[in-house]
Amino acid sequence: MLSVIYISVADPGLTVADVAALVESAQRCNARDELTGALIYNGQNFMQLLEGPVAKVEACLARIRADRRHNGMIEIRRRLVSEREFAGFSMLYSPLFRHHGEDLSRLAARGRFDPQDERLMTNFLALGRHGGAG
Ligand SMILES: Cc1cc2nc3c(=O)[nH]c(=O)nc-3n(C[C@H](O)[C@H](O)[C@H](O)COP(=O)(O)O)c2cc1C
């Protein structure tokens, strides 16, 4: 299985409702495509971890890359994994930015979180907080 983490710049016109709709459709598609992961949105940027069968992750990333709701997508970690970190989550997302940290620590407490992935995601959350989002 492949696990990829990327960051991107959200379209400035995007509303919280738009993001909620995006997450809902991503969850439906991911359930169909055997993909799991987590999405963090801080009002300006996205960070997403996407994991699953290699070809399905690649196909989904290609669709995401072409999506006009964000741009400047940069992969920051890509690795082959034997187990999913977000098994059971077609796309973990909290509607309020401040809840992301709690979700991630609950997950870390279950011992599934790779330390480097955890650091990347919690650092991203901290950046957003300093920027005043959420
Ligand atoms: C930040 C972001 C994250 C996304 N995450 C997913 C995802 O995890 N799974 C997914 O199927 N689509 C995701 N999408 C939506 C895809 O870009 C695309 O709209 C969707 O897969 C439907 O593609 P289609 O219209 O070509 O079928 C995401 C879009 C954005 C902007």
Query: Tens-of-pLDDT digits for all 134 residues of the chain?
Result: 999 999 999 999 999 899 999 999 999 999 999 999 999 998 899 999 999 999 999 999 999 999 999 999 999 999 999 999 999 899 988 765 667 778 787 777 777 789 999 999 988 888 876 554 44
Gap between the Cα atoms of 33 and 107, Å rounded: 22
pLDDT at 110: 77
Q: What is the pLDDT of residue 96?
A: 59
Closest Cα to atom 4, ligand 1: which residue? 64
From the list 116, 74, 127, 117, the residue with the least C-alpha distance to 92 is 117
Q: Is the dihedral of CA 89, 38, 117, 72 positive or negative?
A: positive
Instruction: Say what angle helices 115-130 and 97-109 make with each other, to 10 degrees.
Output: 160
Q: Which domains does the chain have, with CATH numbers?
A: 2-131 (3.30.70.100)
Nearest CA to ligand 1 atom 21: 63
Distance CA 78, CA 55 (A): 14
Q: For position 129, what pLDDT does the model report?
A: 67
In this prediction the pTM is 0.92
Nearest atom of ligand 1 to the alpha carbon of 64:
17
